[in-house]
Amino acid sequence: MFIQDDLQQRWWNLEAKLAERFGKKPDVEAILFLIGMQETGFISDKISKEQKQDLMHVAVCTVLGKSGYYILEGKDADGWPHFKQVRELPVMQLQEQESFLKDHILLYFEQTGL
């Protein structure tokens, strides 16, 4: 249980830092959206639902790429990154999936200097 408690504390610390910066406590989806924007440099006044999903997909591939699940294949003509899955993701229950993703998001922020 200690490992889970540590993950939760680190997650709360990240939420607090982001809330301080953006004025609102973000959920996992919002954090993935921010990572996607960071990774693509995509900025627009109006973002479609499809673009938001694409940004979150980029974020998931980016954060899971740190553990060798995805690799960047390149960017398309519009500058959007494309990934290839190179390793099967482990089969997990929903709660385990959330912790797995949060742990990778935390690793991303640690490696990018937040």
How far is residue 31's CA from residue 59's CA, in Å, rounded to a whole number? 9
* Domain layout of the chain by residue ranges: 27-111
Based on its alpha-carbon atoms, the radius of gyration of the chain, rounded to whole angstroms, reads 15
11-23: pLDDT as tens digits = 999 999 999 998 9
**Helical H runs in 23-91?**
28-40, 49-65
52-80: pLDDT as tens digits = 999 999 999 999 998 999 999 999 988 89
